[in-house]
Structure 1
């Protein structure tokens, strides 16, 4: 496989994995995307695949992930997205960094922040997409 093909496949894998877990909440299907030895670097999530899955199970069923820009460099994928419906006042804008090995997600880091409203944005531009949250 060429690097471009691998990177395209890795981006598709992450998009499908995130949709399966965060939007469909299909934990059995999601297990095929996350390694049993998944390494979690997030300060907000307990260790391993179980830590991630348990967090999602504890959040409201209204949780949604919207993907934005996604880039890949070899076995690493960064996806910029919005997590909404989690029960907090503001959606989270996230840059999730994932390492892929043998077709599964094996390691994760993230950068999270609350989404700013138009009144809060000093740049006057939305943090995600083309519109501010309502």
Structure 2
């Protein structure tokens, strides 16, 4: 796959995540997620409807902040922060997505609570260059 296609896949994922998680525009988000979307996350019900339902149940303050994003062929991985979801700590996520026919077709994730500076054994932040406030 060309670097141009991989760049397009990364842009697609970033736009999809912003549309769903930050803008909460479900109608527009449908064009990014396949109707046959496969969900591997233990935290989300099956399919596109399961994902959209989960987001509808979270506070409107939910935000996704992308960090490092890499693509390899039809796969994109986003290291990001989900905040404003109503829990004490933000989630740091590695979202792995497979792109097929120009839409998000499949998803896996790895999630953990973001550590504060006092909690960090390494003394380094988990996301970006600073610890959460």
Structure 1: segments with no counterpart, 5+ residues: none
CA distance in 2, matches of 1:14, 1:31: 13
Partner Cα separation in structure 1 for residue 82 and residue 117 of structure 2: 18
| Aligned residue runs from structure 1 range 34-73, under 5 A | 34-73=33-72
Matches within 5 A, 1:32-111: 32-111=31-110
Q: How far 1:104 moved relative to its partner?
A: 0.1
Provide runs of 4+ in structure 1 moved above 6 Å.
none
Partners of 1:129 and 1:30 in 2: CA distance: 27
- Normalising by structure 2, we get a TM-score of 0.99
**Whole-angstrom CA distance in 1 between matches of 2:107 and 2:68:** 17
* Shift of residue 113, structure 1, vs aligned partner: 0.1
**RMSD, aligned CA:** 0.5
